[in-house]
Amino acid sequence: MSELPQRKDNRLKRFDYSSNMAYFITICCRDRKSLLSKIVGGDACDAPRVVLSRYGRIVDHYMRQMDRQYDNIFIDHAVIMPNHIHLILIISSATPSEYDQIIRVGYFGTSQASSPTNPHAGKELSASVQRQHEIVPKFVSLLKRYINREIGHNIWQRGYYDHIIRNEYDYPWLYISNNPAHWAEDQYYIS
């Protein structure tokens, strides 16, 4: 009897996952179907821009909700492409009292995390998530689950890509911003 293939662990062997960090994350739609948005414009008079579909608006809603919901994470930058999402997720190990003093300005503007009107203010991603490196898989899993529940079926491929951003030269902010302009050359592009 042959054994089932084992998934390779993509975590760095000697990396300190307990420190504050940023991740570049890509989540793709199943079969690379263009369900989330369209890229329009791009001619001499009109810069390319993303127009969200119904599914894309649901993705945007839940990313915004998760950005505001948890004190220890925020989305610094994101783009919802036709068949995938790129985002930069910042994880902070600051305590809630320290974190309340930080004004977080990212992709979605100033965070509502410390607002008294936010019912989730002060919550961390999960009490069961004890180590920093578990936050990214949990975040991606929750995001996919919330969106699938809203849509009524699974639109995501299994897994996701993540990359630890180690320094300012490794920071893909410009890549994310320019992604709509280069959609036809994108590795995920399907005409």
Assign 76 to helix, strand or coil: strand
Q: How many CB atoms lie within 10 A of CB 118?
A: 14
Q: What is the pLDDT of residues 15-40, one digit of tens each?
A: 655 557 788 899 999 999 999 999 88
Residue 93 — very low, low, confident or very high, per pLDDT cuts 50/70/90? Answer: low
Q: Is the pLDDT of residue 43 over 80?
A: no
Q: What is the pLDDT of residues 103-143, one digit of tens each?
A: 344 444 433 333 333 344 444 444 434 455 577 888 888 88
Assign 63 to helix, strand or coil: helix
Q: Cα Rg for the chain, rounded, in angstroms? A: 17
| Least confident window among 24-28, 65-69, 91-95, 187-191 | 91-95
Q: Which residue has the higher pLDDT, 114 or 184?
A: 184
Report the predicted TM-score, pTM, of the whole model to 2 decimal places: 0.71
Q: Are 115 and 121 in contact (CB under 8 A)?
A: yes
Residue 113's pLDDT is 38
